[in-house]
Each structure stands twice: as structure tokens, then as C-alpha cells.
């Protein structure tokens, strides 16, 4: 058989085999897409899976897991398995933060920040790496971990309507995007406030590095002033609505009564017993798993704890677990009410006061502050010619006097009558 004949025979054989093959399905198979929250979780899961399965370049080993179609036990031990175990809770939290209505805005944001990943600066990876290093140092410090644990016991101290505080009107401010862009531009490299920001950053770092804690048992003017601001009087009515929990000197909510709802005082100090994490404990020393005094703003829609009409946690006899007071009628509420005209309107008084403050501080002057053996230079004001420094010096001298404390106590008693 000639060479041409062999080629024709081979082609005929291939054609015969192809004729026996099943018909190829040319219809494109679409990928099942979840909600925005599920997709965000899937992307994060796949990024972690790359570390767990470095040879799986196609992502096939983790595809079903990251879509929630495989059990968490099938994941590699470590971060990936821990994330898979928390998938329902993580997706639920993301659903709250990222509803479907923000999908287009989120996509625009993610596209806009892509340049922050570009080499050589890699600004976003560098920033996240620095934050990760900071969190690692905090985790390794037992005192920091303990302090954060104690702070977490202080959630829900104010009624839900008051918890967001100034954050709510700030987020509703119509020019917030423009203000944010202007502020970030001023603080960025080459911005008008960049140098001043770095100097403030260095000063704060030195202040924190040399900070010494005050004696928590020593009562000072701040304690008296705080009690004074909480004083009530009929003339103070009409300030703010809502209520707050009464706290003891430890910063913890004061129970309505001891020996009720599990609260005990076995050490006889007049305060409900707590453990090392500032969690209330019962007579057996075990933690009392109590609801927050008021539901937090985030958990309020899903809160199922027994509460009274004010939203305060209730216990035996449907009576409140903790003591609470109305914010309206306090001196602080009255001060806030009277201060509203200062910060509102087209020509707020507070803005004029800030502009006038520079004149009261005196001309700029280069000076230093000693932090141990280090003399930190910064640009301040001439304290010899600034009128405000004389006022502050005189006021601080008075505040340190015993007579000032007595006067504040007398004023508090008068307002309480």
C-alpha cells in the first residue's frame, strides 16, 4: 500500500470512530451563583483553601466545601476547617452587612481599590499585614486580652435608641462622602495635613508608651463631676429621651437587689461578686449567663430575652435585673439641649469659637516635650503670650483644691433636692 493509501485509510478509521462517538453537548453549563454574602464567603474560603491545598491549582478540592455543599469535616484541619464550621453564622452576619441592594456599589468599590494591590507599593496588603501584626501583638499580651474581655461585659448599658450616639447623625450627613475624600486627601502622601498627622501620630505613640495608670481606688474630681452630670432636677426636663443603667465604681451594672436572680455578695464589699473577667457569678462561683441590660443595636431584632417595657432585662417576677435611670432630666441632658444652637444653623457659635481659639492660644512656636531621655520636637503655641493658657492654669489649680471638690458636692446635693 502506498503512503497516500495509508493516510487515506487512517483518516477513514478516525472518521469511523468519530461517527460512533456520542453527540457533544455544546450548551454552556452556567455556574450556580449564591447570594452576595455567600459569594463573599466563597471567595474568602477559596483564598484560605489555597494555603491548605497548595497543589490544587484548579480549586476542585475546595469548591464544594466553599459553596456549602460539603461537610466541614472534609476540610483540611486548621483555618479552613474552622471557617467551614462557622459558615452558617458567617454568611448570616454577611447578609446583614451586605444585603443584595448594595451589590453594585460594592462591585464599584472593589474595582476602584484594585490599584492599591499594585506593586511595588502594595498599599492594601501592607496595611492589612500591619493590622495583622498589631492584632498578633495584642493577642500575645495577656493584659490586653484580659482588658478586652472585661470591656465586652459592658455591652448594652444604654437603651437601644441611645447606643449609636453621634454615629447615627454622622452616617446620615449628606456630604459625608465628600468630607471623607477631602480628609483622606489631606492625610495622604503629599496632602496638606500629612506632616502634622505624622507628628501627632508620633506624639500619641510616645504618650501611650510612657503612660502610667492612676490609682483606680482614689476618688477624684472626675468622679464627682460624673456624678454631678447625672444629677436630676425638674428644670432639666426636655433634653434627651432614653435610659441608662446605673454602674458601680467598677463600671459594671448595679443589680436591682442582691440575693435575687443569682446575684450574691459573699466577700461583703457591697458589690455583686464577679470573676476575673468581670462577669457576675453566683454562690457556687460559676458565671451567671445574663442577657445584656439593654439589647444591643445589632442584636435587637433577634433578641429573645425577657425584658420590661423600657427594654431592660428582667428576671424573677418580671422585675428588672439592674437599676436604671432616665436620661431626660439629668444635668448632662440639659447641657446637651442648651448646646444644640451652638452647633446648628448656618453660622454655628461653636465654629466661630474654634476660629477664635487660635488667637487665644497665641502665636505658633517650636517646642519640645521630654519622654524619658527623648526630647520630642513639635510645633505648639507660645504659652507665655497665649491668654487661654493663663485661664487653664488658674482653672486647673482650682480643680486640684479640696474646696473645689466640696463645692461640687454641695452643688450636687442642692440639685438633688
Q: What is the pLDDT of residue 153?
A: 81
Dist CA 387 CA 371 (whole Å): 27
What is the number of other CB atoms lying within 10 angstroms of the CB of residue 339? 12
* Better-scored residue on pLDDT, 220 or 158: 158
What is the number of other CB atoms lying within 10 angstroms of the CB of residue 391? 11
Dist CA 43 CA 232 (whole Å): 54
Q: Is the pLDDT of residue 21 over 60?
A: no
Q: What is the pLDDT of residue 26?
A: 64
Check: CB of residue 81 under 8 Å from CB of residue 65. Answer: no
Domains in the chain: boundaries: 34-104, 137-172+243-326, 214-221+331-416
Closest Cα to residue 220, out of 396, 416, 414? 396
Dist CA 193 CA 186 (whole Å): 5
Using CB atoms within 10 Å of the CB of residue 105, give its burial: 0 to 12 exposed, 13 to 18 middle, 19+ buried. Answer: exposed
Q: Collapse the DSSP code of 277 into the 3-class scheme (helix H, G, I; strand E, B; otherwise coil) and give the result.
A: coil
Dist CA 362 CA 386 (whole Å): 4
Check: CB of residue 293 under 8 Å from CB of residue 245. Answer: yes
Q: What is the pLDDT of residues 194-238, one digit of tens each?
A: 998 998 999 999 998 888 877 767 777 777 888 888 888 888 887
Q: What is the pLDDT of residue 194?
A: 94
Closest Cα to residue 67, out of 84, 55, 54, 50? 84
Length of the chain: 417
Any idea which residue has 431626660 for its cell?
328
Using CB atoms within 10 Å of the CB of residue 326, give its burial: 0 to 12 exposed, 13 to 18 middle, 19+ buried. Answer: middle
Cα torsion 262, 283, 259, 224: sign: negative
Which pLDDT band, with edges at 50, 70 and 90, does 20 fall under?
low
Q: What is the chain's mean pLDDT, rounded? A: 85
DSSP string, 64-113: HHHTT-S-GGGSPTTHHHHHHHTHHHHHHHHHHHS-GGGHHHHHHHHHHT
Check: CB of residue 310 under 8 Å from CB of residue 293. Answer: no
Structure pTM?
A: 0.62
Lowest mean pLDDT, pick from 16-25, 116-125, 129-138, 385-394: 16-25
Which pLDDT band, with edges at 50, 70 and 90, does 58 fall under?
confident
Check: CB of residue 162 under 8 Å from CB of residue 327. Answer: yes
Check: CB of residue 280 under 8 Å from CB of residue 262. Answer: yes
Q: What is the pLDDT of residue 258?
A: 92
Q: Do strands 324-326 and 364-371 pair parallel, antiparallel, or not at all (unpaired)?
A: unpaired
Dist CA 230 CA 239 (whole Å): 13
Closest Cα to residue 209, out of 380, 372, 375? 372
Dist CA 295 CA 157 (whole Å): 9
Mean pLDDT calculated for residue range 335-359: 79
* Better-scored residue on pLDDT, 280 or 352: 280
Q: Do strands 324-326 and 374-381 pair parallel, antiparallel, or not at all (unpaired)?
A: unpaired
Adjacent-strand bridge partners of 83: none
Amino acid at each position: 500500500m502506498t503512503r497516500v493509501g495509508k493516510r487515506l485509510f487512517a483518516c477513514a478509521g478516525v472518521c469511523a470512530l468519530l461517527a460512533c462517538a456520542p453527540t457533544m453537548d455544546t450548551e454552556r453549563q452556567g455556574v450556580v451563583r449564591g447570594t452576595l454574602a455567600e459569594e463573599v464567603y466563597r471567595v474568602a474560603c477559596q483564598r484560605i483553601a489555597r494555603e491548605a491545598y497548595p497543589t490544587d491549582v484548579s480549586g476542585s478540592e475546595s469548591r464544594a466545601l466553599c459553596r456549602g455543599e460539603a461537610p466541614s469535616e472534609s476540610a483540611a484541619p486548621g483555618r479552613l476547617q474552622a471557617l467551614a464550621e462557622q459558615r452558617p453564622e458567617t454568611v448570616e452576619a454577611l447578609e446583614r452587612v451586605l444585603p443584595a441592594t448594595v451589590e453594585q456599589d460594592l462591585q464599584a468599590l472593589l474595582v476602584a481599590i484594585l490599584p492599591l494591590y499594585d506593586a511595588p507599593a502594595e498599599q492594601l496588603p501592607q496595611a492589612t499585614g500591619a493590622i495583622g501584626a498589631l492584632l498578633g501583638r495584642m493577642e500575645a499580651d495577656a493584659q490586653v486580652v484580659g482588658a478586652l474581655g472585661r470591656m465586652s461585659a459592658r455591652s448594652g448599658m444604654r437603651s437601644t435608641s441611645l447606643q449609636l450616639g453621634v454615629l447615627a447623625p454622622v452616617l446620615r450627613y449628606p456630604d459625608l462622602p465628600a468630607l471623607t475624600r477631602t480628609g483622606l486627601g489631606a492625610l495622604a502622601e503629599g496632602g496638606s495635613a500629612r506632616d502634622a498627622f505624622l507628628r501627632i501620630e508620633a506624639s500619641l505613640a510616645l504618650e501611650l508608651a510612657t503612660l502610667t495608670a492612676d490609682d483606680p481606688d482614689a476618688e477624684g474630681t472626675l468622679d464627682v463631676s460624673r456624678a454631678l452630670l447625672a444629677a436630676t432636677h425638674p428644670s432639666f426636663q426636655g433634653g434627651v429621651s432614653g435610659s441608662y443603667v446605673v454602674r458601680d465604681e467598677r463600671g459594671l451594672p448595679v443589680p436591682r437587689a442582691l440575693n435575687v436572680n443569682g446575684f450574691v455578695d459573699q466577700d461583703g464589699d457591697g458589690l455583686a461578686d464577679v470573676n476575673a473577667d468581670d462577669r457576675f457569678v453566683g454562690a457556687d462561683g460559676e458565671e451567671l449567663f445574663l442577657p445584656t441590660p439593654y439589647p444591643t443595636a445589632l442584636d435587637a431584632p433577634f433578641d429573645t430575652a425577657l425584658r420590661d417595657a423600657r427594654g431592660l432585662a428582667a428576671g424573677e417576677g418580671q422585675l428588672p435585673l439592674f437599676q436604671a435611670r432616665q436620661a431626660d432630666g439629668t444635668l448632662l441632658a440639659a447641657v446637651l439641649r442648651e448646646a444644640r444652637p451652638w452647633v446648628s444653623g448656618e453660622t454655628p457659635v461653636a465654629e466661630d469659637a474654634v476660629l477664635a481659639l487660635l488667637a487665644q492660644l497665641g502665636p505658633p512656636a517650636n517646642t519640645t516635650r521630654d519622654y524619658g531621655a527623648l526630647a520630642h520636637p513639635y510645633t505648639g503655641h507660645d504659652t507665655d503670650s497665649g491668654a487661654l493658657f493663663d485661664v487653664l492654669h488658674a482653672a486647673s489649680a482650682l480643680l486640684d483644691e479640696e474646696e473645689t471638690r466640696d463645692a461640687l458636692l454641695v452643688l450636687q446635693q442642692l440639685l438633688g433636692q
